[in-house]
């Protein structure tokens, strides 16, 4: 009879452990961030000649070491808090244009997420250029993501890269600049309704291209009440421009319809649409309930409502009690306001996200 050999469990464990090391662990899901200045963390710092920049004081006045990072905030912004509160990371991932400068670490760093958001950007390819000279529109941001996707495949292999891309969060904030430019440079032959439908058609194509690249979890931040920005008030006698706010509400409703159709025709799509309009108006209508004392003026700026320009030291007035303000500059929220908004978007128990909240979306 042939001699039987006993299996050594320890040896098997060692072999399996080494096989796991060679294969490499699957990177955890991360965040890929697209859009405009609401969630830009410094993309435009790398665009020479761009006017939509926040890499100088008093931006970042409450950031560690008083650093102006490129965030349009006194410190952290909405993307930072959403990433943190969902448990994806401690703050927003860095800009693509920063990461791509260091090719040696590029394929490692992108496994932890990338931000493509650019201040001034819009859904349409031409949005932002009239006002800010240089921006990276949403379509070009998606092209940058394709570069990231190819590098993930080369670094991780097709299966692991696909798993990372499928399970990560795609956070998008876009549309405010498109509508703002519609009102700034009006076309007599295009109504607001027609223009919003044009935006929705382009938006649908953009989302489909991201879906085709493997994205499945879409966290969409709706646009704010653009007619209630300090900038809008400054040109409207200190009160909200209700025509602009009506367009923002219509954009929100149209985006919800778009996402419902998008998810029904593309298998595996999950989404959450955040009602940033509703969150902001709840603070404007009841400031004390949110801990604000001033919801009409910018903390940092010049002119009526401090709403005539970006925050620029020493030209701008800077408030001392920034947590009492809803707005930091002429259109962007303070760090406190961004944190409150993120809590509403991420956590259940309120009606500011449909059909689920961002926290639930990340766990799916």
Give the model confidence (pLDDT) of 192-235 as tens digits. 999 999 999 999 999 999 999 999 999 999 999 999 999 999 99
- 286 domain-assigned: yes
Distance CA 163, CA 24 (A): 14
By C-alpha distance, which of 124, 111, 181, 144 is closest to 43? 144
Name the residue with tokens 């859904």. Answer: 123
What are 155-183's pLDDT values in tens digits?
A: 999 999 999 999 999 999 999 999 999 99
Would you say residue 18 has pLDDT above 50? no
pLDDT of residue 9: 52
Cβ neighbours for 165, distance < 8 A, ≥ 6 positions apart: 149, 152, 213, 214, 215
Half-sphere exposure of 189 (CA within 13 A, CB side): 0
Q: Tell me: the pLDDT tens digits for 72-82?
A: 999 999 999 99
| Number of domains composing the chain | 1
7 assigned to some structural domain: no
Taking the CA atoms of residue 59, residue 91, residue 173 and residue 206 in that order, the dihedral angle to the nearest 10 degrees is 130
Q: For residue 238, what are the domain limits?
A: 27-363
Residue 143 pLDDT > 70: yes
Residue 186's pLDDT is 87
Give domain status of residue 326, yes or no: yes
Query: What's the confidence (pLDDT) of residue 332?
Result: 98
Q: Looking at the annotation, which residues are catalytic?
A: 37, 329, 332
Q: Which residues contact 312 (CB under 8 A, 6 or more apart)?
A: 56, 58
The CATH number assigned to the domain holding 309 equals 3.40.50.1110
**What's the mean pLDDT in 117-132?**
96
What global pTM score does this model have?
0.92
The CA distance from 299 to 38, in Å, is: 16
275: Cβ contacts below 8 Å, ≥ 6 apart: 222, 252, 351, 352, 353, 354
For the chain, the average pLDDT equals 94
Range in 21-35, 135-149, 270-284 the model is least confident about: 21-35
Give pLDDT, residue 166: 97
5 in any annotated domain: no
Classify 14 in phi/psi space as left (phi over 0), alpha (psi -120 to 50) or beta.
Answer: alpha
Buried b (16+ CB within 10 A) or exposed e, 265-304: eeeebbbbbbbbbbbbbbbbeebeebebebbbbbbbbbbb
Please state, in angstroms and rounded to a whole number, the distance separating the CA atoms of residues 257 and 331: 26
Band of residue 22 on the pLDDT scale cut at 50, 70, 90: very low
Is the pLDDT at 17 greater than 70? The verdict is: no
If pLDDT is split at 50, 70 and 90, which confidence band does 3 have? Answer: very low
Q: Is the pLDDT of residue 19 over 70?
A: no
Q: Does some domain include residue 79?
A: yes
99-103, 160-164, 175-179, 245-249: range with lowest mean pLDDT: 99-103
Report if residue 31 sits inside a domain.
Answer: yes
**Residue at 260 is within a domain:** yes
Closest C-alpha among 97, 185, 177, 104 to residue 145: 97
What pLDDT shows up at residue 25? Answer: 77
- Cβ–Cβ < 8 Å for 226, 179: yes
Residue 215, Cα to own-chain centre: how many angstroms? 15
Confidence tier at 16 by pLDDT (50, 70, 90): very low
pLDDT of 7 higher than 60: no
Whether residue 16 is contained in a domain is answered as no
35, two tokens: 């859009």
Does residue 314 have a cis bond before it (omega within 30 degrees)?
yes
Question: Which two tokens mark 261?
Answer: 């159709």
> Which band of pLDDT confidence, cut at 50, 70 and 90, is reported for residue 338?
very high
């Amino acid at each position: 009879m042939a001699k039987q050999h006993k299996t050594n469990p320890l040896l098997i464990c060692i072999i399996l452990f080494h096989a796991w090391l060679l294969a490499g662990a699957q990177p955890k899901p991360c965040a890929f961030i697209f859009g405009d200045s609401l969630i830009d963390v410094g993309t435009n710092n790398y665009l020479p000649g761009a006017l939509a920049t926040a890499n100088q004081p008093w931006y970042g006045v409450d950031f560690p070491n008083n650093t102006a990072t490129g965030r349009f905030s006194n410190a952290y912004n909405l993307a930072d808090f959403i990433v943190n509160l969902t448990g994806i990371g401690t703050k927003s991932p860095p800009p693509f244009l920063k990461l791509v400068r260091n090719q040696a670490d590029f394929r490692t760093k992108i496994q932890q997420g990338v931000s493509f958001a650019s201040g001034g950007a819009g859904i349409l390819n031409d949005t932002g250029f009239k006002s800010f000279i240089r921006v990276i529109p949403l379509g070009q941001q998606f092209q940058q993501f394709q570069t990231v996707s190819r590098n993930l495949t080369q670094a991780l292999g097709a299966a692991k890269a696909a798993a990372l891309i499928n399970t990560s969060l795609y956070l998008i904030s876009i549309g405010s600049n498109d509508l703002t430019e519609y009102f700034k440079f009006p076309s007599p032959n295009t109504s607001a309704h027609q223009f919003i439908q044009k935006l929705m058609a382009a938006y649908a194509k953009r989302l489909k291209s991201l879906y085709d690249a493997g994205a499945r979890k879409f966290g969409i931040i709706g646009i704010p009440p653009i007619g209630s920005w300090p900038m809008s008030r400054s040109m409207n006698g200190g009160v909200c421009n209700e025509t602009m706010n009506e367009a923002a509400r219509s954009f929100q409703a149209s985006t919800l319809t778009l996402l419902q159709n998008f998810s029904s025709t593309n298998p595996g799509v999950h989404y959450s649409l955040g009602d940033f309009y509703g969150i902001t108006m709840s603070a404007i209508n009841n400031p004390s309930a949110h801990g604000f004392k001033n919801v009409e003026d910018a903390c940092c700026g010049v002119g009526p409502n401090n709403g005539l320009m970006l925050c620029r030291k020493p030209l701008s007035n800077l408030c001392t009690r920034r947590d009492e303000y809803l707005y930091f500059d002429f259109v962007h929220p303070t760090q406190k306001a961004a944190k409150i908004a993120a809590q509403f978007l991420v956590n259940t128990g309120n009606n500011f996200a449909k059909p689920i909240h961002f926290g639930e979306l990340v766990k799916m």
